[in-house]
Amino acid sequence: MSSRSPRRFLAKELSTAAAAYQAAVVIPHCAECARPCCRLDVLVLELEWKQLKALWQLDESRSAFDRRLSSGRGPVEIRAGNGLYYAHRKVCPAYDESCGSCRVYGQEHKPAGCSDFPVYEDGGSVIADLRCEAVDLEGLTAWLASAVGPEFRFEQSPDREFPFLVTLSVQRVSGAAGGNRRLR
């Protein structure tokens, strides 16, 4: 499929709209959030080695860290698997609790999952994670609808296993003109 294909173009518009929603609605709420995700009491943070090394300020080699971890002498909040590392049940060391902000915001060491949470585009749909108290599903749907135009509508589908994950899939409104400004 060409990079100029309608589906990819729409996906890009949704990705841009999701990022704008995060910037305008979610991030301003973080400083007053009652259950900050960065405490990792609910969420699991997925990290590559270089991110783990930077955030946890490790000065040993990866193999030395892995040996330490597997012998039970590593950080209790870290698990290894599939070539990655997973942090859970302890506050992220990059989280500044005094002001509710991330110390590596905008930096290369910030894990991709942090930027995606709680709203991101995936495969032409938008995923919303309702574990973030700043996300209002109706407000988000209206935000996305305004970004893609009246010829589209959104369907909300909670995940069967994890209902706090809701997929907003975009559908062309029945009878809408095929030749619209976005899909040409």
CB of 1 to ligand SF4, least distance (A): 32
CB of 44 within 8 A of CB of 113? no
Question: Of the two residues 102 and 176, which places its CB atom closer to ligand SF4 in the complex?
Answer: 102
Contact between 90 and ligand SF4 (CB under 6 A)?
A: no
Please give the Cα distance from 166 to 157 (Å, whole number): 5
Contact between 36 and ligand SF4 (CB under 6 A)?
A: yes
What is the residue whose two structure tokens read 């330490």? 68
Question: Of the two residues 19 and 176, which places its CB atom closer to ligand SF4 in the complex?
Answer: 19
Binding piece for ligand SF4, criterion CB under 6 A, among 4-12, 60-68, 92-100, 164-172: 92-100
Long-range contacts from 39-43, C-beta under 8 angstroms, 24+ separation: 39/91, 39/92, 39/95, 40/77, 40/87, 40/88, 40/89, 40/90, 40/91, 40/92, 41/89, 42/131, 43/88, 43/117, 43/131
For residue 117, the number of C-alpha atoms closer than 13 Å in the C-beta half-sphere is: 20
Question: Of the two residues 84 and 176, which places its CB atom closer to ligand SF4 in the complex?
Answer: 84
What is the residue whose two structure tokens read 């698997």? 81
Question: Of the two residues 155 and 159, which places its CB atom closer to ligand SF4 in the complex?
Answer: 159
| Binding test (CB under 6 A) with ligand SF4, winner from 65, 95, 120, 152 | 95
Q: Over the range 138-172, which residues count as b (16 or more CB within 10 Å of their CB) and which as e?
A: eebbebbbebbeeebebeeeeeeeeeebbbbebee
CB of 92 to ligand SF4, least distance (A): 3
CB of 171 to ligand SF4, least distance (A): 28
H-helix or E-strand spanning residue 47: strand 45-47
CB of 38 to ligand SF4, least distance (A): 3
Binding piece for ligand SF4, criterion CB under 6 A, among 8-16, 29-37, 66-74, 153-161: 29-37
Question: Of the two residues 92 and 166, which places its CB atom closer to ligand SF4 in the complex?
Answer: 92
Residues that bind ligand SF4 (CB under 6 A): 26, 29-30, 33, 36-38, 45, 92, 94-95, 102, 104, 110-111, 114, 118, 132-134
